[in-house]
Amino acid sequence: MNFGNRTPTIVVLKEGTDASQGRGQIISNINACIAIQETLKPTLGPLGSDILIVSSNQKTTISNDGATILKLLDVVHPAAKTLVDISRAQDAEVGDGTTSVTILAGELMKEAKPFLEEGISSHIIMKGYRKAVALAIEKINELALDVSSEEQGNRELLERCARTAMSSKLIYKNADFFVKMCVDAVLSLDRDDLDDKLIGIKKIPGGAMEESLFIDGVAFKKTFSYAGFEQQPKNFKNPKILSLNVELELKAEKDNAEVRVEHVEDYQAIVDAEWQIILDKLEQIEQTGANIVLSKLPIGDLATQYFADRNIFCAGRVGADDMGRVIKAVGGSIQSTTTDIKPEHLGTCAKFEEIQIGSERYNLFKGCPQAKTCTLLLRGGAEQVIAEVERSLHDAIMIVKRALQNKFVVAGGGAIEMEISKYLRDYSKSIAGKQQLIISAFAKALEVIPRQLCENAGFDSIEILNKLRLAHSKGEKWYGVDFEAENIGDNFAKFVWEPALVKINALNSATEATNLILSVDETIKNQESQGANAGMMPPQGRGRGMPMPMQ
């Protein structure tokens, strides 16, 4: 076919595909991220407010934890999802600072917006941000103090870090009580790996928050049990504990099973055989000398009564997590057969008891010789309150864990952000060109943390920030927002400490997320997923969105 001088129309994208690109697209993505930032801003700091989120199934959550809020918000904008990801990454890596990292990323994008509107290439902005974050982290490492040598002991350092982590949480009013619980929990773990999954947290509605218990060992809810359970002893001192993965239950015969017998005695032998098998297992367990029998699989009514008659405590259907922590705490190992059980396969603890807590009964293993695990039993008036207490404790526990591994700390309350901001401003004056403006913009973005802390507390943010800039210019490097005095103060002297790792990770993640958004200048939305794998055409150029199915 001869087209003459006309260029033929080539259809590359499927009909209905939405494609938008260019500088306007970057600014649109930035606006979406700023909207997320605006949602989280009021929750920052000790006087930040909580957010009540109602999910589609009408479940309510009250929280001021950045990662939790973003997870529940169900963000659909593809660019804004990067903020959800960095918040989750911060939660997984450090445990705290999830709100800070999202607010910082949003502010860095907000500062980049005027440069884009003026026509500066996004790659120049990214280069400036990369340089600025490298300088900022170098400065944090230089400023961070190693407090392991000057403290009377690790415990005091850990308690101070935990208290700072709790300052913005629901449990701050009960901080004295929970700080001790957090530090005890982390110190009960193995120092080599500090696996926080071995800290069990059980939520029991009812009672006051300060009725929460710390168990140096394992506690789990009484498992489903059959008649005969009431006759079993509920207290032991130095018991022998046997952990099994064996079913101790008579099973109903399969449907349509057919057995041909010649004599009545043969039929009786078949009936007796099943009973004999389970009784042999029970006798073998009894001969081990175990006082407590735990099994991941069910323990039926016959076995329950058998153990009750012999003063043995049993619990079937113990959860895998609880069983794993019991083994870690009391020693021994899980047995998958009742034959050939040796004394070294049994564990022990100083005391076992079953107690009533609220409306539930709990089995407690205390004074464990191998105590590499512990359990926190949390109380509270409402389920939403207990859930928020759990999230708050998780953040504090993670901070204590990081402080134990990394003894370097910096002052919180906006102090370290103001000091880095001053350092980057001074540095920007020593260089020429566009990079000077971009590094200066990065320095300005860091001030969002102290500014937002002031606004959430109801202080005059302009006045406080001016005072902070003046103090830092005079060399007062640890001056930040002092909430008690409603002024500024030396936060290091007031023991508002945070592990340096929290700040380093937050700055790195926020800058990476910002640079990622700045590098995307085209978004392609496929309306249908059918045939998406047929004939993929690789996107051309930098920063394109998704692969394009060819027509």
Q: How far apart are CA 296 and CA 319, in angstroms?
A: 6
Q: Dump strand ranges (E) for 320-454.
A: 334-335, 347-348, 351-357, 360-366, 374-380, 408-411
Domain boundary (375, 401, 436) is at: 375
Read off the pLDDT of residues 271-329 as tens digits, 9 standing for 90 and up.
778 788 888 888 988 888 889 999 998 888 888 888 999 899 999 899 888 888 888 88
Query: CATH no. for residue 296?
Result: 3.50.7.10
338: its two tokens = 């009742």
Do residues 348 and 427 share a domain?
Answer: no
Does residue 382 belong to any structural domain of this protein? Answer: no
Read off the pLDDT of residues 189-242 as tens digits, 9 standing for 90 and up.
877 777 778 888 888 888 888 888 888 888 888 888 887 788 888 888 888 999
Contacts of 531 (CB under 8 A, 6+ apart): 14, 549
Range of the domain at 462: 17-147+411-525
Contacts of 544 (CB under 8 A, 6+ apart): 520, 521, 522, 524
Does residue 274 belong to any structural domain of this protein? Answer: yes
Q: Identify residue 433 by its one-letter amino acid code.
A: G
CB 105 within 8 A of CB 435: no
Q: What is the DSSP string of 411-435?
A: ETTTHHHHHHHHHHHHHHTTS-SHH
Please state the pTM of the whole predicted model.
0.74
| Burial degree of 64 (CB within 10 A; 0-12, 13-18, 19+) | buried
Q: What is the mean pLDDT of the chain?
A: 83
pLDDT at residue 392, rounded to an integer: 87
Does residue 129 belong to any structural domain of this protein? Answer: yes
By annotation, the residues acting in catalysis are 65, 98-99, 395
Do residues 354 and 233 share a domain?
Answer: yes
Indicate if the pLDDT at residue 1 is higher than 60: no
Does residue 386 belong to any structural domain of this protein? Answer: no
Read off the pLDDT of residues 29-65 as tens digits, 9 standing for 90 and up.
889 899 989 988 998 888 888 889 888 888 888 888 8
Do residues 244 and 367 share a domain?
Answer: yes
Integer distance in angstroms from the first to the last C-alpha of the chain? 20
Do residues 224 and 356 share a domain?
Answer: yes
Do residues 358 and 258 share a domain?
Answer: yes
Query: Which residue is listed with tokens 């001056």?
Result: 479
Do residues 41 and 123 share a domain?
Answer: yes
Does residue 182 belong to any structural domain of this protein? Answer: no
Integer CA distances (angstroms), 473 to 118, 134, 461, in order: 31, 22, 18
Read off the pLDDT of residues 252-267 as tens digits, 9 standing for 90 and up.
655 566 778 788 877 7
DSSP single-letter state for residue 3: -
DSSP single-letter state for residue 8: P
Q: How many CB atoms lie within 10 A of CB 161?
A: 30
Do residues 246 and 133 share a domain?
Answer: no
Distance from the Cα of residue 547 to its chain's centroid = 33
Domain boundary (347, 375, 403) is at: 375
